[in-house]
């Protein structure tokens, strides 16, 4: 940053120098709290004069929020509401959701997260935004613990049918047909730590005994208890121990069966969950169907095309 500071004082300032200075300030800070936001805001003020545009305004709104509070940042975002250049991007909704969450308006934030998720074509972003919305579904239910976590007892879903009905459990089924043999598909699914190659948003995965720990790009962890791993049946069960969804309990089973045509396979994912709020069962069903459907599509691309989820 010192070199950039000297350079900015000796040459004509252009957008590239300003963007480099902003990036350097972000790189120098170990955390958001330790970032020199007033200096970043000052640079964005200059950038808005040198190279005005909606994306500059969007980034400047975040800097304004960090310096003057989320309400001030939301006011800057409001200037983009009628800008036609933002009509086909999810970014305005995503940033507004973040600032609304910081402002203490979880209902409006959640609506913006879901709208942003519907508007982006990126599977990892869809998954991330949907999970952010899910965290806000029942904020009071997470009081006193990690707000992104729902701890579930592993036996809750292993109940007789009558008991499952009484506890309002619901099953969602997702399937995908893959142009690869059953053994090839099963080899990918059974390699449990390799989940990070195809599960959108997961940057690392490891096994701790029978517990699979997946870490997402924003540092959240998903813990799944794996059981009944059967090479003969090409299936395994999982029980969520920690998951960023508004559920009391959730788990499911992966199964690989032969496809309709020779050399193809069908992967079925049956997920059973008990919502925190029975009135929200349809909404959680939609979240799970959408997120897990994206996961299976990402699995298909990985098996067929060897494309990892983060390769675009």
Q: What is the structure's pLDDT at 273?
A: 86
| 3-state SS track over 133-184 | HHHCCCHHHHCCCCCCCCCCCCCCCCCCHHHHHHCCCEEEEEEEEECCCHHH
Identify the band that residue 311 occupies on the pLDDT scale cut at 50, 70 and 90.
low
Task: Return the closest-CA partner of residue 192 out of 166, 212, 215.
Answer: 212
Of 12-26, 52-66, 175-189, 214-228, the range with the lowest mean pLDDT is: 12-26
Q: How would you classify the pairing of strands 211-216 and 170-178?
A: unpaired
Cβ neighbors of 187 (< 8 A, separation 6 or more) are none
Q: With a threshold of 0.75, does the pTM exceed it? A: no
The mean pLDDT value for 211-237 works out to: 90
Structure tokens at 39: 């200096």
Instruction: Please check whether residue 61 is in contact with residue 73, taking contact to mean a CB–CB distance below 8 angstroms.
Output: yes
The mean pLDDT value for 138-146 works out to: 36
Q: How far apart are CA 295 and CA 124, in angstroms?
A: 9
The mean pLDDT value for 144-148 works out to: 32
Identify the band that residue 216 occupies on the pLDDT scale cut at 50, 70 and 90.
confident
Q: What is the structure's pLDDT at 61?
A: 93
Instruction: Please check whether residue 182 is in contact with residue 257, taking contact to mean a CB–CB distance below 8 angstroms.
Output: yes
The mean pLDDT value for 262-278 works out to: 87
Q: Hey, which residues does 212 pair with through a beta bridge?
A: 207, 224
Using the structure block, give the residue that is written with the tokens 């009944």. Answer: 228
Q: What is the DSSP code (8-state) at residue 210?
A: T
The mean pLDDT value for 248-262 works out to: 91
Q: How far apart are CA 134 and CA 118, in angstroms?
A: 14
Q: 97-106, pLDDT tens digit by residue? A: 999 999 999 9
The mean pLDDT value for 225-231 works out to: 93
Mean confidence (pLDDT) of the chain: 81
Q: What is the DSSP code (8-state) at residue 306?
A: -
Instruction: Please check whether residue 238 is in contact with residue 211, taking contact to mean a CB–CB distance below 8 angstroms.
Output: no
Task: Show the DSSP H helices in the chain as ranges.
Answer: 2-8, 15-28, 37-50, 54-68, 70-78, 91-102, 106-119, 123-135, 161-166, 182-190, 281-305
Highest CATH level, class, for 2-139:
mainly alpha
What CATH number does the domain located at 161-307 have?
Answer: 3.30.530.20
Q: How far apart are CA 102 and CA 66, in angstroms?
A: 10
Q: How far apart are CA 55 and CA 71, in angstroms?
A: 19
Identify the band that residue 312 occupies on the pLDDT scale cut at 50, 70 and 90.
low
The mean pLDDT value for 6-15 works out to: 59
Question: Does residue 29 register a pLDDT over 80?
Answer: no
Q: What is the structure's pLDDT at 135?
A: 73
Instruction: Please check whether residue 235 is in contact with residue 228, taking contact to mean a CB–CB distance below 8 angstroms.
Output: yes
Domain ranges of the chain: 2-139, 161-307
């Amino acid at each position: 940053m010192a070199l950039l500071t000297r350079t900015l004082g000796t040459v004509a300032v252009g957008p590239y120098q300003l963007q480099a200075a902003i990036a350097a300030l972000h790189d120098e800070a170990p955390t958001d709290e330790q970032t020199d936001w007033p200096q970043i805001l000052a640079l964005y003020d200059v950038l808005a004069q040198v190279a005005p545009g909606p994306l500059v305004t969007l980034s400047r709104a975040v800097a304004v929020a960090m310096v003057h509070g989320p309400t001030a940042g939301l006011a800057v975002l409001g200037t983009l509401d009628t800008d036609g250049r933002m009509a086909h991007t999810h970014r305005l909704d995503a940033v507004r959701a973040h600032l609304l969450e910081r402002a203490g308006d979880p209902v409006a934030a959640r609506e913006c997260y879901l709208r942003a998720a519907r508007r982006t074509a990126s599977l990892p972003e869809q998954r991330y935004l949907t999970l952010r919305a899910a965290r806000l579904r029942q904020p009071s239910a997470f009081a006193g613990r990690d707000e992104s976590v729902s701890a579930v007892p592993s036996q809750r879903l292993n109940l007789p049918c009558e008991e499952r009905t009484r506890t309002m459990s619901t099953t969602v089924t997702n399937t995908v047909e893959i142009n690869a043999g059953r053994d090839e598909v099963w080899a990918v699914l059974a390699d449990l730590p390799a989940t990070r190659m195809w599960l959108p948003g997961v940057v690392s995965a490891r096994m701790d005994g029978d517990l699979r720990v997946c870490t997402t790009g924003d540092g959240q962890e998903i813990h799944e208890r794996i059981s009944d791993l059967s090479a003969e049946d090409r299936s395994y069960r999982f029980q969520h121990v920690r998951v960023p969804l508004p559920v009391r309990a959730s788990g499911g089973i992966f199964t690989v069966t032969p496809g309709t045509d020779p050399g193809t396979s069908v992967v079925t994912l049956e997920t059973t969950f008990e919502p925190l709020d029975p009135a929200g069962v349809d909404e959680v069903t939609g979240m799970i169907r959408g997120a897990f459907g994206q996961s299976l599509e990402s699995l298909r691309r990985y098996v067929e095309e060897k494309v990892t989820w983060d390769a675009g």
